[in-house]
């Protein structure tokens, strides 16, 4: 799982670290947690190229509760996918 808690994150930022994300996203189950907003669609497009079957969870605002809920949602999705593959 990759989490982005900076509201200013954009696809260009992620592409600068592309090798790192390509390495970790090679896992059979992978989820991304990103802020909702203008950059979300660009990030989703980039993530689908990095791992076609990955899952993206977005959160609204900058509150810790929203971020924690998004991480939990991503974890629950990943757990379900892992159990399906197992």
pLDDT (tens digit per residue) in 8-56: 898 898 889 989 888 888 899 999 999 999 899 999 999 998 888 899 9
Quote the number of domains for the chain: 1
**pLDDT surpasses 90 at 82:** yes
**70 contacts 32 by C-beta, under 8 angstroms:** no
pLDDT at 74: 98
Mean pLDDT of 46-75: 94
**Cβ neighbour number for residue 48 with a 10 Å cutoff:** 13
Q: E strands, the chain, where?
A: 2-3, 31-35, 55-59
**pLDDT surpasses 90 at 66:** yes
Going by their DSSP bridges, the two strands 55-59 and 31-35 should be labelled as parallel
Range of the domain at 25: 2-85
pLDDT at 50: 87
């Amino acid at each position: 799982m990759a989490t982005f808690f900076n509201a200013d994150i954009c696809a260009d930022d992620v592409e600068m670290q592309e090798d790192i994300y390509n390495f970790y996203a090679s896992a059979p189950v992978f989820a991304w947690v990103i802020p909702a907003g203008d950059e979300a669609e660009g990030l989703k497009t980039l993530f689908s190229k990095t791992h076609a079957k990955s899952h993206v969870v977005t959160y609204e605002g900058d509150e810790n509760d929203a971020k924690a809920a998004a991480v939990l949602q991503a974890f629950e999705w990943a757990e379900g996918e892992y159990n399906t593959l197992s």
